[in-house]
């Protein structure tokens, strides 16, 4: 079992190799070299490695935000409460993951004694604990480096200092109310925002959500109980659904762009089985909104039409 799993795009392999070397020198074992995988066991090996790791570093970049593999691995890390996000360039994480504080490595040159690397090592130690057997290090040669900056979470999101475990952040967001939603800023006496411009996709959308069975034995399902309301191209819903012997409390937010491209992110919590993550992408074509993605540990497809 490795202490850390690194999820990344192959286009960023050179930087990830340097990052893995820094973490290994600090004393942690790191799983990152996908070239070791071959054949049909790829996804099974990845899932096992993430499941056994103490922390999952997701390296966001212009390449990785477009990777279905990286997004899926990040979603799995959120469910497991192991997400440790970093960014390699100015690209922010996908909407679904912006509630978790992200460490900025965009200015990092690869040195283990640069401020950015020291900050990352310290935050990993505070999240998963210090390495069990640190490797002795020689006195380093100082290398000047700009101080790292951190990507701030949305203003209304209350977030803990350091790297917050994504599961805890999801649980906080589930009860934080309207002030904690991703698309809303702080309330109080602030100046009200101007009215949203109407979108061609405004209205209430509804249809069946069809989801696969889970690997832990929960059956698949198809239901028509999660309508989405779109206003000014922004999508929102808060829904309570009886499920799995409890009640699912779910919050959805997202957008439908002028070209019909859509993204929906959210979180839910079952009163019996705990929190879970939600993320769908898709497009409106011929009057039908088709979305696919993850709903907890299930793969789901939604086919919605405007009511």
- The string of pLDDT tens digits covering residues 119-149 is 899 889 988 887 754 433 434 444 444 444 4
* Residue 27 vs residues 104, 121, 134: alpha-carbon distances, Å: 22, 10, 4
Can you say whether the dihedral through the CA atoms of 211, 214, 220, 226 is positive or negative?
negative
Second-level CATH architecture of 203-306: Beta Barrel (2.40)
Largest CA distance in the chain: 67
pLDDT band at 275, cuts 50/70/90? confident
pLDDT band at 245, cuts 50/70/90? low
Query: CB under 8 Å to 235, separation ≥6 — which residues?
Result: 228, 229, 252, 253, 254, 255, 256, 262, 264
Q: Judge: domain 4-177, CATH 3.40.50.620.
A: no
pTM of the model: 0.46
The whole-number pLDDT of residue 168 equals 40
DSSP state of 146: P
pLDDT in tens, 69-120: 888 888 888 888 899 999 999 998 988 888 888 999 999 999 988 999 998 9
Mean residue pLDDT of the chain comes to: 76
The whole-number pLDDT of residue 35 equals 54
Q: What percentage of the chain has pLDDT greater than the value 90? A: 29
Lowest mean pLDDT among 64-68, 83-87, 141-145, 237-241: 141-145
Query: Could you tell me if 159 and 101 are in contact, meaning their C-beta atoms sit under 8 angstroms apart?
Result: yes
Domain ranges of the chain: 4-177, 203-306
Report the alpha-carbon distance of residue 269 to residue 261 in Å, rounded: 27
């Amino acid at each position: 079992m490795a202490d850390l799993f690194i999820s990344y795009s192959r286009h960023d392999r050179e930087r990830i190799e340097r990052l893995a070397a820094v973490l290994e020198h600090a004393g942690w074992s790191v799983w990152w070299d996908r070239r070791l995988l071959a054949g049909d066991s790829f996804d099974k090996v990845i899932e096992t490695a993430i499941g056994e790791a103490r922390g999952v570093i997701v390296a966001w970049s212009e390449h990785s935000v477009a990777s279905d593999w990286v997004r899926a691995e990040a979603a799995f890390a959120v469910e497991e409460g192991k997400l440790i996000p970093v960014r390699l360039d100015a690209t922010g994480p996908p909407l679904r993951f912006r509630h978790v504080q992200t460490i900025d490595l965009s200015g990092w040159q690869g040195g283990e004694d640069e401020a950015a690397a020291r900050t990352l090592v310290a935050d990993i130690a505070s999240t998963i604990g210090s390495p069990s057997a640190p490797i002795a290090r020689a006195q380093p040669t100082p290398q000047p480096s700009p101080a790292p900056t951190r990507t701030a979470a949305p203003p209304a999101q209350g977030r803990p200092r350091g790297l917050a475990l994504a599961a805890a952040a999801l649980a906080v967001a589930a009860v934080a109310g309207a002030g904690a939603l991703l698309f809303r800023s702080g309330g109080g006496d602030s100046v009200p925002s101007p009215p949203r411009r109407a979108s061609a996709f405004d209205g209430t959308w509804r249809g069946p959500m069809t989801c696969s069975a889970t690997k832990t034995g929960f059956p698949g399902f198809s239901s028509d109980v999660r309508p989405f309301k779109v206003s000014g191209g922004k999508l929102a819903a808060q829904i309570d659904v009886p499920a799995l012997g409890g009640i699912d409390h779910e919050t959805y937010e997202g957008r439908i762009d002028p070209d019909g491209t859509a993204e929906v992110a959210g979180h839910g919590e079952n009163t019996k089985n705990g929190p879970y993550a939600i993320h769908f992408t898709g497009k409106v074509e011929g009057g039908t909104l088709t979305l696919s993605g993850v709903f907890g540990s299930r793969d789901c497809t939604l086919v919605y039409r405007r009511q």
